[in-house]
Amino acid sequence: MSARNRGDSGIAVIGLGRFGCHLATSLTQLGYEVLAIDRGSDQVQRWSPYLDRVVQADATEEGALRQLGVADFPRVVVAIGASLEASVLTVLALTELGVPQVWARATSEKHARILASVGSHHVIFPEAETGERVAHLIVSKMLDFIELGDDFAIATVRVPDVLVGRRLRDLAMSERHGVMVVGAKLPGERFRYAEPGTVLAPGSVLIVEGGIAQVQRFAALT
């Protein structure tokens, strides 16, 4: 069945501001059918050439969403950030339609609590999450960093010089460094699952997981 079948993987994105437009185009590039909705004609005209279907509508109106078939989408993302009122009313309308998964962008903790109280299943903080991730990258030697909550993170790091030429089985990563190496990219090769016999060649990149402090310390090894 096609990846663009609405019943399986269609996603509606409401709000084509900076976050919403990037989200919608990324989902389209991943092969998903995207219905993009914005109340502004300028945004609709701008993004129509790049997305499957872009519609100008007031998403706070349940009737307008129903007419557009939004109730048939299993996942809807409310990417509105400029208007708290519009964001909340849109989530409420989606809840009334019975959308199975409503994702909503919040700009503050208070906003997040309101979104959750009116029916949002998932609340996201794109600016805060991006800022935190970039902060970790700036002050460390990590190449990429994802915090998963509960003091746990996954990061990509260059293999520390002190570990070059050694096999993973000989390094006791968990006992000595508090991290596990789950993937490795040797020079000239693709990422692959790390195995006990993997030799850490110069210039290798590792995917490691563990506590945030442990991951940071491992990345800082020289």
Q: Quick one: how far is CA 105 from the chain centroid?
A: 12
**Res 9: pLDDT:** 65
CA angle 212, 202, 207 (to 5 degrees): 30
Q: Three-state DSSP class for 217?
A: helix
> Is the CATH code 3.30.420.240 the one for domain 129-219?
no
Q: Closest by alpha carbon to 9, among 22, 27, 21?
A: 27
Q: If you classify domain 6-124 with CATH, what class do you get? A: alpha beta
**Res 8: pLDDT:** 57
Element (H, E) at 181: strand 179-185
Residue type, 134: V
**Res 53: pLDDT:** 94
**In angstroms, rounded to a whole number, what is the distance separating the alpha carbons of residues 166 and 191?**
18
Which residues, at least 6 apart from 215, have a Cβ–Cβ distance to it below 8 Å?
A: 142, 145, 153, 154, 155, 157, 179, 208, 209
Q: Three-state DSSP class for 12?
A: strand
**Res 5: pLDDT:** 41
**In angstroms, rounded to a whole number, what is the distance separating the alpha carbons of residues 94 and 86?**
12
Could you list the pLDDT tens digit for every one of the 222 residues in the chain? 333 444 456 999 999 998 999 999 999 988 889 999 999 999 999 999 989 899 999 999 999 999 999 999 999 999 998 899 999 999 999 999 999 999 999 988 899 999 999 999 999 888 777 777 777 777 678 888 888 766 888 999 999 888 999 999 999 898 889 999 999 998 888 999 999 999 999 989 999 999 988 998 898 886
**Res 122: pLDDT:** 93
**Res 222: pLDDT:** 60
Which residues, at least 6 apart from 191, have a Cβ–Cβ distance to it below 8 Å?
A: 183, 184, 185, 205, 207
**In angstroms, rounded to a whole number, what is the distance separating the alpha carbons of residues 190 and 204?**
10
Domain boundaries, given as residue ranges, for the chain: 6-124, 129-219
